[in-house]
Amino acid sequence: MKNKKINITLLMGGPSSEREVSLATGRVILNALDKTKYNLTPVTINKDGKWLLPPPDRKFLSGDENKEEKSLVALETGNAIDKLKTERGADVVFIAMHGTYGEDGTVQGFLEMAGVPYTGSGILASALAMDKLKSSELFLFHGLKVPKYLNFSNKQWNKDKDKITTKVSEKISLPCVIKPSNCGSSVGITIVRKIDDLENAVQLAFSYDDIVLAQEYISGVEVTCAVLDEGGDKEPIALPPTQIIPKDSEFFDYHAKYTPGATEEITPPRLPAEIINKIQENALQVHKIIGCSGMSRTDMILGGDGKLYVLEINTIPGMT
């Protein structure tokens, strides 16, 4: 007797600034999953939040508003899950979304309310990991090192711009990193080397979130380390870390992450064994602090002072 195939709905796209990365992740997952074990239904969420199914003769749908895709019958958000459960027999949703809506606990809450199992971390862990301010506060509380930072809201900036500029200059010093608190894929991040460039960097970050971080710039070796849950009572495991060397970017920005050949990735890193072990220990600790499930990837930097700093954690790493 053959084992029954598991029906997987692969969810990708969405309205966030990381939409294209999500679509690329979706393509990789679509091609990688074993078709002898799984029935796959790819669903693309377009920029307006409509859930779209591809026609029978296509495996993938971009979700762009072109003529062909406008003619398709969209799954309305309110009843999309019910239709997928009744018409496609969805057993589990594989979330291949990045950024706001898909990685911040929003879609996780939607699926939980609908009673549909999904991959990855739950609502709280997803929200905490997405919020760089809250996650940094947690890391500090648990004794991990993070770059020095200041945080301020759009309202505070508009009211006390000069005061905040002075605080950034005196307490963080230049160069510094300006980034939105809730965003991924290095979107909205600027390295500020001159105080005259601070305002433009802040305004760019505010275009993605209402909270901005001014963070100490640390020059060093960038590394990233994935963690996987093995299920049951087993402890999560840290995979070998990867050293990140952007070839033509100042840091591991959007271009360096997603342009083929733009970054050299070395696994394991060209670092002493004790440092590699420390990277893995930190990745496991961060995974547990945030309360992640299934998988995570933690980005760190080994500073010139020999200390390892945690930058951020991703609950749905890009699989491009």
Active site residue 170: no
Q: What's the average model confidence in pLDDT over 293-303?
A: 96
Active site residue 274: no
Distance of CA 136 to the CA centre of its chain: 15
Q: What is the pTM of this model?
A: 0.86
Active site residue 235: no
- The confidence score (pLDDT) of residue 68 equals 46
User: Exactly one of 14, 186, 299, 309 is catalytic; which is it?
Assistant: 299
- Given a contact cutoff of 8 angstroms between Cβ atoms, the answer to whether 14 and 101 are in contact is yes
Q: How far apart are CA 264 and CA 274, in angstroms?
A: 22
Active site residue 199: no
Q: What's the average model confidence in pLDDT over 15-40?
A: 88
149-216 classified as CATH 3.30.1490.20: yes
User: Exactly one of 69, 103, 222, 312 is catalytic; which is it?
Assistant: 312
CA torsion, ordered 252, 46, 94, 9, to nearest 10 deg: -160
Residue 303, judged by CB atoms within 10 A of its CB (0-12, 13-18, 19+), counts as middle
User: Exactly one of 38, 258, 291, 303 is catalytic; which is it?
Assistant: 258
Strands 237-238 and 308-314: unpaired
Among 105-119, 177-191, 241-255, top mean pLDDT goes to: 105-119
Find where tokens 């739950």 sit: 122
Higher pLDDT, 258 or 226: 226
**Cβ within 8 Å of residue 306, ≥6 positions away:** none
Helix/strand/coil for 120 = coil
User: Exactly one of 62, 126, 296, 314 is catalytic; which is it?
Assistant: 314
SS3 content of the chain, % helix, strand, coil (to 5): 35, 25, 40
Active site residue 19: no
Active site residue 258: yes
Q: How far apart are CA 312 and CA 72, in angstroms?
A: 39
Averaged confidence pLDDT in the chain: 86
Active site residue 312: yes
- The confidence score (pLDDT) of residue 125 equals 97
pLDDT tens digits, one per residue of 130-172 = 999 999 999 999 999 999 999 999 999 999 999 999 999 999 9
- The confidence score (pLDDT) of residue 284 equals 98
Range 39-62 burial, b when 16+ CB lie within 10 A, else e = bbbbbbbbeeebbbbbeeeeeebb
Q: How far apart are CA 188 and CA 185, in angstroms?
A: 9
The answer, yes or no, to whether residue 79 has pLDDT greater than 80, is: no
Q: How far apart are CA 278 and CA 91, in angstroms?
A: 38
Active site residue 281: no
- The confidence score (pLDDT) of residue 104 equals 93
- The confidence score (pLDDT) of residue 262 equals 60
314 is in an annotated binding site: yes
182 is in an annotated binding site: no
Task: Name the superfamily (CATH) of residues 129-145+220-314.
Answer: ATP-grasp fold, B domain (3.30.470.20)
- The confidence score (pLDDT) of residue 67 equals 42
Q: What's the average model confidence in pLDDT over 3-29?
A: 87
- The domain locations on the chain are 6-119, 129-145+220-314, 149-216
- Residue (of 10, 15, 51) closest to 30 by Cα position: 10
274 is in an annotated binding site: no
**Cβ within 8 Å of residue 179, ≥6 positions away:** 132, 188, 189, 190, 205, 212, 213, 215
pLDDT tens digits, one per residue of 236-272 = 999 999 998 876 656 555 544 545 556 788 999 999 9
Q: In CATH, what class is 6-119?
A: alpha beta
